[in-house]
Chain A
Amino acid sequence: MKYRSVFDIIGPVMIGPSSSHTAGAARIGRAARHLFGRQPSQVDIYLYGSFKSTYKGHGTDVAIVGGILDYDTFDDRIRQSLIKAEEEGISVRIHEEQAGADHPNTAKVRMQDGQDQLELTGISIGGGKVEITELNGFPLRLSGNHPAIVLLHHDRYGAIASATGILAKEKINIGRMEVSRTAAGEAAMMVIEVDQNIPDTVMEQLEVADHITQAARISD
């Protein structure tokens, strides 16, 4: 069941004109921003399919940049996001991709600052609901609409236990979990969907937990 809540159907409250191409796009941008953890200095947005064909009409680019500025779907400031990004010194480039994609509403967001880089692919499946399908080369299936933790870790025994142990101690319930790796013994990634936003104190513990190299989160 892709849709679980009545508010996936009656909602979200949003700035028009399109739930998939505007609100969903904003959520993809916001997921990237949350996982990056701060404001980037350079953003490249690659649009595919219907996103590519109609982004100007729907303000898809405007909405993704709004999300990157951490605006929610109903935030009036979304309309002015391109101007705001420029004021804040964020360089934004939009790329119209001719290549096909598995889903008609696909966007890839690459963001960086002097230190780090993040690449995220998201699809907007309708009514404002999105899925993150790839993160830094790792395929995944993450709903961008619920709180989640993404952990990069060494592919070793005990890595999962060290993360879930912290969550158990903090009484945080895991709704869904996914583990993937580039190759045995190398870099791996854990995606944990949870029921509530993760507080800073828990993130700090996860960052220094055994075998974990990087921790990021998506908040509601």
Chain B
Amino acid sequence: MFRNVEELLAIAKEEGIAISEVMIRQEMKTREATRDEVFATMEQNLAVMEEAVEEGLQGVKSHSGLTGGDAVLIQKYMKEQTPLSGDLLLDAVSKAVATNEVNAAMGRICATPTAGSAGCVPGTLFAVKNRLNPTREDMLRYLFTSGAFGFVVANNASISGAAGGCQAEVGSAAGMASAAIVEMAGGTPEQSAEAMAITLKNMLGLICDPVAGLVEVPCVKRNAMGASQAMVSADLALAGVTSRIPCDEVIDAMFKVGQRMPSAFRETAEGGLAATPTGKALAKNIYGKE
């Protein structure tokens, strides 16, 4: 069983296999399951992700009214105009937003690795899919690769906003997505790790400050940015850009930053955007009290 990225890469190199394959083999061993069984479970998760994106692109609204409808706006803009940041990137952003808007509306989603950060992995997957034309198996492998890096972060740092801030949630999710994009695009396992490191570095210190305690503001847009960061980092890694700080050390740094983060910035709705005059006023409107 791999405990960190270094070991994950070592197994991939030794056996001459992709990151996704390392994860698949480990899962088969851990659960004493066949390849078909492991793939079948992941297929169910993939189907839920597809449904959530479709639902979000139709337009949803949360109970609080704080979020919903932005995925529709972005898609409309893409049809009518030429986005400055590029179609593929904005498509990923819109699908990440779609997923998190469904989540905020208490819809059904698949946590990747959490619900608050559930947009980054499927958002990028369903965008990149249109460019790379993957097989269904490739799409499932995308999720196994994401899972492999998330597995390392979860076991060595944290994937919970309450424990480590948003860097641990959307930061991890974006990193996982970037590593998976690299593999799907034909990059090496090492390049996946570089993409993960570059992404997480840029998310370091990101606080978890949900307005009114709802997984809405700023969570939906943080997923939009997580998806875009994942795309850019993947391109950097595929271009041959490397991180001066190794991936495992970046993960460790993220963990230590999270530990020292005041509780006001760890999903308590007591700091950051939640503590702004407007953030507090929105909370008051929703709950009818301070």
Contact = CB atoms under 8 A, between A and B. Distances in A.
A139 interface: no
Given A9-B146, A126-B114, 20 more contacts: A6-B27, A6-B148, A10-B110, A10-B112, A10-B146, A13-B45, A13-B109, A16-B102, A16-B108, A19-B115, A50-B268, A54-B267, A104-B163, A104-B263, A104-B266, A125-B160, A126-B158, A127-B111, A127-B154, A128-B111
Interface stretch (B68-76, B213-221, B234-242): B213-221
B139 interface: no
B112 A74 contact: no
Nearest to B116: A18
Nearest to B38: A6
Interface string B254-286: 000000000100111110000000000000001
Contacts of A115: none
A21 B208 CA distance: 14
A1 B1 contact: yes
A50 B162 contact: yes
A126 B214 contact: no
Which of B64, B168, B215 has the largest count of A CB atoms less than 10 A from its CB? B215
Which of B1, B112, B163, B216 has the largest count of A CB atoms less than 10 A from its CB? B163
A175 to B, nearest CB: 11
Interface of B: 1, 3, 23, 26-27, 30-32, 41-42, 44-45, 48, 64, 102-116, 118, 121, 143-144, 146-148, 150-151, 154-155, 158-163, 168, 176, 210, 212-216, 263, 266-270, 286-287
Nearest to B32: A195
A2 B154 contact: yes
A2 B151 CA distance: 10
B213 A14 contact: no
Contacts of B121: 10
B148 A16 contact: no
Contacts of A153: none
Interface string A4-32: 11111111111111111111000000000
A129 B109 CA distance: 16
Contact of A17 (B3, B147, B216): B216
14 contacts: A6-B23, A6-B27, A9-B176, A11-B110, A13-B44, A13-B45, A14-B110, A15-B108, A21-B267, A53-B269, A54-B210, A54-B214, A57-B214, A127-B114
B116 A17 contact: yes
B109 A14 contact: yes
A2 B17 CA distance: 26
Nearest to A105: B162
Interface string A90-133: 00000000000000110000000000000000001111100000
Contacts of A53: 213, 268-270
Nearest to B41: A7
Contacts of A9: 112-113, 146-147, 150-151, 154, 159, 176
A67 interface: no
Which of A7, A15, A53, A125 has the largest count of B CB atoms less than 10 A from its CB? A7
Contact of B267 (A11, A15, A50, A128): A50
Contacts, number: 175
Contacts of A21: 162, 267
A6 B44 CA distance: 14
Nearest to A173: B32
Contact of A5 (B27, B108, B168): B27
B108 A18 contact: no
Contacts of B26: 6
A54 B154 contact: no
B45 A57 contact: no
A13 B106 contact: no
Contacts of A126: 113-114, 154, 158-160, 162-163, 168
B215 A18 contact: yes
Which of A6, A9, A11, A55 has the largest count of B CB atoms less than 10 A from its CB? A9
B163 A6 contact: no
A217 interface: no
Given A3-B155, A5-B30, A11 B111 contact: yes
Given A17-B104, A49-B162, A57-B215, A3 B151 contact: yes
Which of B30, B148, B160, B287 has the largest count of A CB atoms less than 10 A from its CB? B160
Given A11-B111, A17-B104, A6 B268 contact: no
Contacts of B287: 56
Given A74-B108, A105-B162, A125-B163, A10 B147 contact: yes
